[in-house]
Amino acid sequence: MILNSDVLLDPYRPGVLEAIGLDPIKLLEENEKLIVARITGYGQTGELSKVAGHDINYVALSGLLPTIAGYNRKPYWPPANLLADFAGGSLTTAFGIVAALVQRNSNGTN
């Protein structure tokens, strides 16, 4: 299936794809037109890279969690949890995939 695929989306923590036999480097050798997009909670390296990420964690670590609402006060608008949904990487990953597909289809390179 991967030999005929355009995109491989890796939503797992670093090393999971490799552990299940889907090493992107090896897959690219078999399908050089494959676009690999890796989206993780905290990146491929660093002290949090192996930690599962969730939007509430991103908001808390950024210091924005109190802006959602605190004791006896109204929440700010827009809610800070939307920040993690959009800035957490999914929107930019989707944009990057589309850009890579356009580039590949226009000049034949990844």
The residues carrying an active-site annotation are: 85
Q: What's the CA gap between 98 and 93, in Å, rounded?
A: 9
- How does DSSP assign the chain, residue by residue? -GGG-SEEEE-SPTTHHHHTT--HHHHHHH-TT-EEEE--SS-SSSTTTTS---HHHHHHHHT-GGGT--TTSPPPSS-THHHHHHHTTHHHHHHHHHHHHHHHHHHS--
